[in-house]
Amino acid sequence: QFLRVTKQYLPHVARLCLISTFLEDGIRMWFQWSEQRDYIEGTWNCGYFLASIFVFLNLFGQLSGCILVLSRNFVQYACFGLFGIIALQTIAYSILWDLKFLMR
Domain map of the chain by residue range?
A: 1-103
Q: What percent of the chain has pLDDT over 70?
A: 100
Is 80 exceeded by the pLDDT of residue 25? Answer: yes
- For residue range 83-103, list pLDDT tens digits in order: 999 998 888 887 777 778 777
Rounded distance between C-alpha atoms, residue 38 and residue 97, angstroms: 22
**42 pLDDT above the threshold of 80:** yes
Question: Distance of alpha carbon 69 from its chain centroid, rounded?
Answer: 12
Check residue 8 and give its pLDDT.
86
Q: What is the pLDDT of residue 61?
A: 94
Given a contact cutoff of 8 angstroms between Cβ atoms, the answer to whether 62 and 70 are in contact is: no
Percent of the chain whose predicted confidence (pLDDT) is above 90:
62
Query: Average pLDDT of 53-75?
Result: 94
The answer to whether 40 touches 46, Cβ cutoff 8 Å, is: yes
For residues 22 and 65, the answer to whether their CB atoms sit within 8 Å is yes
Q: Are 66 and 26 in contact (CB under 8 A)?
A: yes
